[in-house]
Structure 1
Amino acid sequence: MSSNELGDFLRSRRAQVSPEEAGVRTYGVRKVAGLRREEVAFLAGLSADYYTRLEQGRERNPSAQVLDALSRALGLDADQEMHLYRLARLVPASRGGGREPVSPMLLQLMDTYASTPAFVLNRTLDILATNRLAEALFSSFTDTDNLVRMVFTDPAGPEFFTEWHRAAQSTVASLRLAVGHDPDDARLTRLVDEVSAASPAFRRYWEQGHVRGKTAEAKELLHPDVGALSLIFQAFDVRDKPGQQLVIYQAEPGSPSDHALKLLGSLSATKYRDREDADFTFPDRS
């Protein structure tokens, strides 16, 4: 990862805002995408020199007032603004969200969702736990330990995620939020370096600097056993385990995807019973 995440984020956001969106008049040929540094400085009420030092990493301690002004100038949404504050160290770094165990009560609750895939993620998108239907949903993947690897380095990813580019961008945007929570997280650094080396697509999305937390979103998936699935996922913060999120996939009741999920659940239950029967040993009655 970069040693100047704050500057990189400002630069990436500046490149995404057109002069028209910011209400800036332009003259002649522009050589940069988005806004120029001096235009952002003007919109935020800062000197061009000060803003340049922020982007270059020579100034690393902006005030809350400066961040507020930059948020308005760049049109940041709530996730992006909070990410900016975390990168500037004006929000205490959060050390939660590692590979902490999922609470037994939450595991028990997930097991009651017989027709709903459910799994738990941490901030680096490690999959910490799945219920039986989520395990069946992800059965085509070589490994299901981390969502980033599943999307970018597992051969099943591009086929399973029908709208792969959308899923890829969303995954990277979620992972980038982890940088603000703990920029010094060695686990995060290793993951970014590993997937960057393996996937040019990941590198491109990472360099774009988008940040967005998981809330609710439509997913188009293709499962090898039951076919196409149009699902909606919702993510919920686990209050007693900061950094963990419970993600639940749902289908429209009565839809083909709903029937496909039910079929997948039935197939999974059959495989589970067969596995139990294979492991069962009759007692010795001699």
Structure 2
Amino acid sequence: MVGMGSVNELGDYLRARRAMITPRDVGLPDGADRRVPGLRRDEVALLAGVSTDYYIRLEQGRERHPSEQVLRAIAGALRLDGAAAGHLFRLGLPVIATAAAAPTVAAELLRLMDGMRDVPAFVVGAAQDVLAANAMARELYRGFARYDNLLRMIFLDPFAREFYADWDNAARTAVGNLRASSSQFPGNERIERVVGELSVRSPAFTGLWARYEVRPRTREDKHFRHPHVGELRLHFEALAVTGAPGQHLSVYSAEPGSAGADALALLRRSAEQDSAPTGQGTPIQDTPAAEGEFRS
């Protein structure tokens, strides 16, 4: 399992990130005789203003106490954005205790989703488990065998290839988001279980996980192919639940008068026909998150 439980996770991260930067990206000559993908270790050292020997020791795990100044220089050399640089600091600097990820959804948030009758809304946890969902969200994802964990659905359910118009982007985005969550909650047992299971069962996941891209998903435009409604082009927003660390309220919406809005109206009619009498904003009680398992 790349990057989970590694004895040298900082080194793993540095190697993965420098492999994704070309000399041309940083203004260095790009010769034809290069033996490694991306930058060499001496090139990263040069760009960061540290000795090659020091950088090699850092990457090999023989230097375990870099300063914040050195990490900032390396982040700049590797062209890391805010989320990726933040992960580098968490790996390289003394660990600061973080709040544990919240496993259950507050009743107040469930009531809020009850009132969101025109848009799909659901709550995901740190490991991307679907913890609660309204009727619109259940209807949106109805083609999946299980509506339980977004990573499992994307990588292990064949329906995902039909549902996501751009499956490659959906997969890469989901893995980057899980990386960001694993950075925020290091050692989280549930995240490690999800990563372990997917690493065994999905080569596609393993390849993306090894890229070490840390990209929290907060907003984007999505294109779905629903088995009953057809094409849906929706805007996605993930809103952090401040009272529950690791939880996000995910909401899909569309511009009024757009084709996406018309598709949502169809989705609502379908959801109303199938909605359970218990209400819309209900916990997902039959998921692996609730049972403590991870299965397809």
**Does the alignment reach a TM-score above 0.5?**
yes
- After superposition, the Cα gap between the structure-2 partners of 1:38 and 1:273, relative to the gap in structure 1 and judged at 3 Å, is closer
SS at match of 2:210: helix
Shift of 1:25: 3.0
Asked if 1:125 corresponds to 2:128, the answer is: yes
Structure 1 residues 256, 24: CA separation in 2 closer, same or farther (over 3 Å shift)? same
Q: Give SS of 2:145's match.
A: coil
Residue of structure 2 equivalent to 1:262: 265
- Corresponding residue for 1:50? 54
Q: What is the letter of the counterpart of residue 246 of structure 2?
A: G
Distance 1:178 1:169 in 2: 14
* 1:53 counterpart SS class: helix
* Residue in structure 2 matching 1:67, options 58, 71, 95: 71
1:92 aligns with 2:96: yes
State the match for 1:81 in structure 2: 85
Distance 1:107 1:91 in 2: 34
CA distance in 2, matches of 1:190, 1:87: 20
**Which piece of structure 1 moves more, 213-222 or 55-64?**
55-64
CA distance in 2, matches of 1:265, 1:197: 38
d(CA) in 1 for partners of 2:276, 2:87: 46
- Contact kept, 8 Å, 1:7 with 1:55, in 2: the verdict is yes
Provide the residue aligned with 2:24 in structure 1: 20
Do the aligned partners of residues 168 and 27 (structure 1) sit closer, same or farther apart at CA in structure 2, a change above 3 Å counting?
A: closer
Task: Give the Å deviation of 1:51.
Answer: 1.1
2:118 is the counterpart of 1:115: yes
Q: How many angstroms does 1:240 deviate by?
A: 0.8
CA distance in 2, matches of 1:7, 1:253: 49
State the match for 1:139 in structure 2. 142
Structure 2 gap ranges (5+): 280-296
Match of 1:281 in 2: none
Question: Quick one: structure 1 residues 269 and 243, their matched pair in 2 at CA, closer, same or farther if it must change by over 3 Å?
Answer: same
Say yes or no: does 1:170 pair with 2:173: yes
For residues 45-85 of structure 1, give each alpha carbon's deviation from its aligned partner in whole angstroms, at most 9, with x where no partner exists.
11112211222222222211111111111111111111111
Q: Which residue of 1 is the match for residue 42 of structure 2?
A: 38
Q: Distance in 1 between matches of 2:42 and 2:276?
A: 66
Cα distance per residue 1:222-241 (max 9 Å; x no partner): 11110111111011111111
Change (3 A) 1:268 1:44: same
- Higher RCO, 1 vs 2 (CA within 8 Å, ≥6 residues apart): 2
Q: Give the Cα separation in 2 of the matches to 1:239 and 1:183.
A: 19
Q: 1:208 to 1:273 in 2, by over 3 A?
A: closer
Gaps of 5+ in 1: 277-286
**Given the two structures, how large is their TM-score scaled by the length of structure 2?**
0.88
Measured at CA, do residues 57 and 183 of structure 1 come closer, stay the same or move farther in structure 2, by a change above 3 Å? farther
**Structure 1 counterpart SS, 2:19:** helix
Residue pair 2:181, 2:216 contacting (<8 A) in 1 also? no
Distance in 2 between the 1:67 and 1:247 partners? 33
2: distance between equivalents of 1:113 and 1:164? 27
**Relative to structure 1, is the Cα distance of residues 101 and 54 closer, same or farther in structure 2, using a 3 angstrom cutoff?**
same
Say whether the 8 Å CA contact 2:68–2:93 is kept in structure 1. Answer: no
CA 1:63 to 1:274, structure 2 compared with 1: closer, same or farther past 3 Å?
A: closer
| 1:133 Cα deviation from its structure 2 partner | 0.5
1:163 counterpart letter in structure 2: D
C-alpha separation between the residues in 2 aligned to 1:275 and 1:69?
55
* Aligned residue identity for 1:22: V
Structure 1 vs Structure 2: percent identity of aligned residues? Answer: 46
CA distance in 2, matches of 1:14, 1:180: 19
In structure 1, the residue matched to 2:274 is 271
TM superposition shift of 1:178: 2.5
* Corresponding residue number in structure 1 for 2:293: none
> CA deviation digits over 1:97-131, x for unaligned, max 9?
24x21111111111211111111112211111111
C-alpha contact (below 8 Å) 2:66/2:93 kept by paired residues? no
Match of 2:225 among 222, 232, 255: 222
Size of the alignment, in residue pairs? 275
